[in-house]
Structure 1
Amino acid sequence: MIKAHKKDKDLVVNLLSHSFKDNQSVAYIVGKRNDKQKRIRALIDYSFELCFLFGEVWLSDDKKACALVLYPHQKRTTLKSTLLDIKLIIRAIGWRGALKAIKRESKIKGIQSKEEMAYLWFIGVLSAEQHKGIGSALLKQVLDGAANAGLSVYLETSTPKNIPWYKSFGFQNYGSINLGYDLHFMKWDPIAEITHTER
């Protein structure tokens, strides 16, 4: 696993915007306009920048997969983060979509844990390289890093077929909400995983 640098941003944005082009949760945020792919790229660009400030951006050794991990407890309101938020509204969400996005975020925050965590915002693999174990290897390394830091890993997914994959790593469902699509909340607890592995 390689920690990404700023120069890797285009690679990450290309990879994740392609991986999430049909994702329901992303579509909910950016809307269904003609420039949807451009808006998805802007959302991923924003996520990269925020994780670069308050988290980590990881690439697989072959740079065919990446993960954006945010540490919400480290997030601060700064001039840069405020400018990123404004840029997100202008380039990805639109002013009309901002209220919808704020309501969605409020519902999510009502379910999410308040504990310190590693929040797995995005993980994706180049489509031609899927089902070869690259994403699994990257996720395992992300989990190992979180365990070393004493942090649980949280995520949400709107893709039902991904749930068994996450569960195979020890993630557990802890809630769901319907936003016109079902958003599933999942948690990986390093202590629970150690206990489970020792059985």
Structure 2
Amino acid sequence: MTPEETSALIRVLDRAFDTDPILGSLLSEKKHRARAATALHRAAVNYAVRFGVLEIAAEGAGVALWLPPGREHLTFPRMLQTGFVPLALELGWALPRLLKIDHVLTQMHTTHAPEKHWYLFFLAVDPAAHGKGIGGALLEQGVVRAEAQGLPVYLETQTEQNVRFYTRRGFVVKEEKTIAPGLTNWALRRG
């Protein structure tokens, strides 16, 4: 991907996750939260390009970042290689709180998908393109790939509206858990 294409995908992720509950719980100031989101999305795209699968739909209006079996958990060495340090610097004092949240998410992930599986790291559709089937099509691509390999798909969301989106597409809520004050995580799985 060219730097321009990468930047365009990061902007889609930024717009799609503008009200991300995790970052919102960590950073109250909008500009600070936006900088942290951009750092997170840049690192996530880099991570998926290097260690996973990045799928783009509808001329860049949607993107799915997948981590394949055996690489479905983020590791510290890989995070260092793909640019998570700027995110840590941007978070500053909020980093320890994020690490506590991540610890709970990792425990849920390990509990509900202990075997090899595909992990949906991010699924984003530009808000201007919502309702056109882009997210469902991107999700279906990954589900078909996993099913062809006889593997389940695992994901999590912190947005109740997203729970409905995924359950309509065959995912089952495995656990709903408050992971921080005012912040709920849903662990979902298909297969």
What range is the shorter-chain TM-score in? 0.7 to 0.9
Unpaired segments ≥5 residues, structure 2:
none
Q: Does 1:82 align with 2:80?
A: yes
| CA distance 1:131–1:61, shift in 2 (3 Å) | closer
Aligned to 2:190: 188
Q: Does 1:133 align with 2:127?
A: no
Asked whether the equivalents of residues 20 and 26 of structure 1 are also in contact (C-alpha less than 8 Å), the reply is: no
Report the CA distance between 1:110 and its aligned residue: 1.7
Deviation digits for residues 111-154 of structure 1 (CA, Å, limit 9, x no counterpart): 21332221112111121211111211111112112222332111
Q: From the CA coordinates, give the structure whose radius of gyration is larger.
A: 1
Report the CA distance between 1:14 and its aligned residue: 0.3
Structure 1 runs, 4 residues or longer, greater than 3 Å off: 75-78
CA distance in 2, matches of 1:18, 1:115: 33
Q: Does 1:118 align with 2:118?
A: yes
Aligned to 1:174: 174
CA distance in 2, matches of 1:187, 1:156: 9
Aligned to 1:12: 9
CA distance in 1, matches of 2:37, 2:56: 20
**Secondary structure class of the residue paired with 1:58:** strand
| CA distance 1:128–1:86, shift in 2 (3 Å) | closer
Aligned to 1:32: 28
Q: CA RMSD in A?
A: 2.0
CA distance in 1, matches of 2:76, 2:99: 16
| CA distance 1:26–1:119, shift in 2 (3 Å) | farther
Asked whether the equivalents of residues 171 and 188 of structure 1 are also in contact (C-alpha less than 8 Å), the reply is: yes
| CA distance 1:149–1:72, shift in 2 (3 Å) | closer
CA distance in 2, matches of 1:156, 1:99: 21
Report the CA distance between 1:77 and its aligned residue: 5.1
Unpaired segments ≥5 residues, structure 1:
190-199
Amino acid at match of 1:22: T
How many pairs does the alignment contain? Answer: 181
CA distance in 1, matches of 2:75, 2:126: 32
CA distance in 2, matches of 1:81, 1:161: 29
Report the CA distance between 1:188 and its aligned residue: 1.1
CA distance in 2, matches of 1:53, 1:38: 23
Report the CA distance between 1:26 and its aligned residue: 3.4
